[in-house]
């Protein structure tokens, strides 16, 4: 059974650190949420992976339609895109991501090129992702993405992590003991955390049914192109 925030508060206050008037619920909650973020940073955990269908905004104004705001589309817990597919039946296409410098070298102002179905994107910030081509209609897209864990605030809140209460608890305890200058106890709990973390990453990365085989219908070194490949500045064929 997953811990609630109240379970963490009780464990840390009543069992680990004793009755301290200066150890408030708000302080421990900050530590717990910091621990969640730190655990999220070290590995792309399965339970933090998301798949969302979105509709690309279309106003008919190219300078507006070239920009996607992932925070607005996917929520403020958005962390990073894993892949981005324009859904169009048999013509569905996975977009390729370029770095901002490479994108700007080839097509610095997408709004001055022909509009159409997007094939390329670049991420500058969470609120500014640029598309080429600029959409000529309200396309449907499927985004696979990673999120940050939801911050806990209410006593009944449960973490987004799956079976990682021990990780969160021991990392939080290491913070607490370090801040109260109990270095030996802090190192003890951090060591336990590191051991459990290694075990958890191994379990999360285990894919016994995975076969890395390239499908015969894919051309080696190529990418699937849209039907209007001749109108794509990134096409090198």
216 within domain boundaries: no
29 within domain boundaries: yes
210 within domain boundaries: no
Strand partners, 129: 68, 123
The per-residue pLDDT for range 50-100, each reduced to its tens digit, is 999 999 989 999 999 999 999 999 999 999 999 999 998 888 999 999 999
Per-residue pLDDT, 2: 85
* Same-domain status, 104 and 132: yes
- In 3D, which of 68, 20, 80, 46 has the Cα closest to residue 201? 46
Per-residue pLDDT, 90: 84
50 within domain boundaries: yes
Strand partners, 49: 146
- Domains of the chain: total: 2
* Same-domain status, 60 and 82: yes
* Same-domain status, 130 and 171: no
138 within domain boundaries: yes
Residue 38 pLDDT > 90: yes
* Same-domain status, 32 and 50: no
Mean model confidence pLDDT for the chain? 89
- Domain extent, residue 125, equals 46-147+224-231
Residue 10 pLDDT > 60: yes
Cα angle vertex 28, ends 27, 32, to 5°? Answer: 125
Regarding predicted confidence, which is higher, 152 or 226?
152
The structure's pTM equals: 0.82
Per-residue pLDDT, 91: 85
């Amino acid at each position: 059974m997953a811990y609630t925030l109240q379970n963490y508060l009780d464990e840390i206050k009543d069992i680990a650190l004793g009755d301290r008037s200066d150890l408030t619920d708000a302080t421990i909650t900050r530590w717990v949420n910091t621990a969640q973020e730190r655990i999220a940073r070290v590995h792309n955990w399965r339970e933090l992976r998301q798949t969302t269908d979105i509709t690309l905004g279309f106003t008919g104004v190219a300078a507006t339609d070239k920009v996607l705001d992932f925070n607005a589309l996917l929520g403020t817990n958005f962390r990073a895109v894993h892949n981005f597919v324009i859904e169009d039946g048999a013509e569905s296409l996975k977009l390729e991501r370029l770095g901002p410098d490479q994108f700007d070298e080839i097509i610095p102002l997408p709004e001055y090129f022909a509009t159409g179905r997007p094939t390329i994107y670049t991420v500058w910030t969470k609120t500014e992702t640029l598309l080429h081509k600029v959409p000529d209609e309200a396309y449907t897209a499927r985004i696979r993405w990673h999120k940050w864990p939801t911050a806990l605030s209410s006593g009944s809140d449960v973490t987004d992590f799956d079976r990682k209460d021990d990780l969160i608890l021991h990392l939080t305890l290491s913070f607490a003991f370090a801040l109260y200058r109990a270095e030996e106890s802090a190192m003890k709990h951090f060591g336990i955390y590191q051991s459990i973390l290694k075990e958890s990453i191994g379990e999360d990365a285990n894919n016994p049914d995975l076969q890395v085989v390239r499908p015969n219908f894919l051309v080696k070194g190529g990418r699937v192109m849209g039907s209007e490949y001749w109108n794509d500045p990134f096409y090198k064929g």
